[in-house]
Structure 1
Amino acid sequence: MNKAEKTKQFIVEMTAPVFNEKGYTGTSLNDMTNATGLTKGSIYGNFANKDEVALAAFDHNIRKVGVIIRQEMDKKTTCKDKLMVYVHVYENFLKHPFPVGGCPILNTAIEADDTHPLLKQKAVDAVYNWKGIITDLIEKGMQQGEFSKHTNVEQTALTMIAMIEGCIMITKLTGKMNYRKAIMQSVEKIINEL
Structure 2
Amino acid sequence: MSKANQTRQFIIEKTAPIFNKKGFAATSLSDITEATGLTKGSIYGNFENKDEVAIAVFKYNADRLWKKKENWITVYSDARSQLMALVDFYRKNWKELFESGGCPVMNAATESDDIMPAMKERVKNTVDSWVRNVANILEKGIKENVFRSNINTVEYARLFIMTIEGGVLLSKISDKPDSLYLALDRVNKIIDDEIII
Does residue 190 in structure 1 map to residue 196 in structure 2? Answer: no
Compute the displacement of 1:2 (Å): 2.3
RMSD over aligned Cα atoms: 1.6
1:25 is matched with 25
2:162 is matched with 162
Gaps of 5+ in 2: none
1:53 is matched with 53
Q: Following the alignment from structure 1 to structure 2, what is the Cα–Cα distance between the partners of residues 191 and 81? A: 11
2:8 is matched with 8
Q: CA, structure 1 residues 106+33, in 2 after alignment: closer, same or farther (shift >3 Å)?
A: same
Q: Following the alignment from structure 1 to structure 2, what is the Cα–Cα distance between the partners of residues 184 and 89? A: 10
SS in 2 for 1:146: coil
2:73 is matched with 73
Moved over 3 A (4+): 94-99
Instruction: Give the conservation status (yes or no) of the 8 Å contact 1:89–1:96.
Output: no
Instruction: Give the conservation status (yes or no) of the 8 Å contact 2:73–2:86.
Output: no
Comparing 110-119 and 137-146, the one that deviates more: 137-146
Instruction: Give the conservation status (yes or no) of the 8 Å contact 2:97–2:103.
Output: no
1:109 is matched with 109
Compute the displacement of 1:128 (Å): 0.3
1:64 is matched with 64
List per-residue Cα deviations over 1:69-107 (Å, max 9, x = no partner).
Answer: 111122101111111122111111157678821111100
What residue identity is the alignment partner of 1:163? Answer: T
1:178 is matched with 178
Q: Following the alignment from structure 2 to structure 1, what is the Cα–Cα distance between the partners of residues 94 and 176? A: 14
Q: Following the alignment from structure 1 to structure 2, what is the Cα–Cα distance between the partners of residues 97 and 84? A: 19
List per-residue Cα deviations over 1:2-60 (Å, max 9, x = no partner).
Answer: 22211111000011111111221111101111111111111111111111111110110
Give aligned-pair identity as a percent: 40
The TM-score normalised by the length of structure 1 is: 0.94
Does residue 40 in structure 1 map to residue 31 in structure 2? Answer: no
The count of residues paired between Structure 1 and Structure 2 equals 194
Compute the displacement of 1:152 (Å): 2.2
1:134 is matched with 134
Compute the displacement of 1:188 (Å): 1.5
Compute the displacement of 1:178 (Å): 2.2
The TM-score normalised by the length of structure 2 is: 0.92
Q: Following the alignment from structure 1 to structure 2, what is the Cα–Cα distance between the partners of residues 9 and 77? A: 33
Q: Following the alignment from structure 1 to structure 2, what is the Cα–Cα distance between the partners of residues 69 and 148? A: 24
Q: CA, structure 1 residues 97+26, in 2 after alignment: closer, same or farther (shift >3 Å)?
A: closer
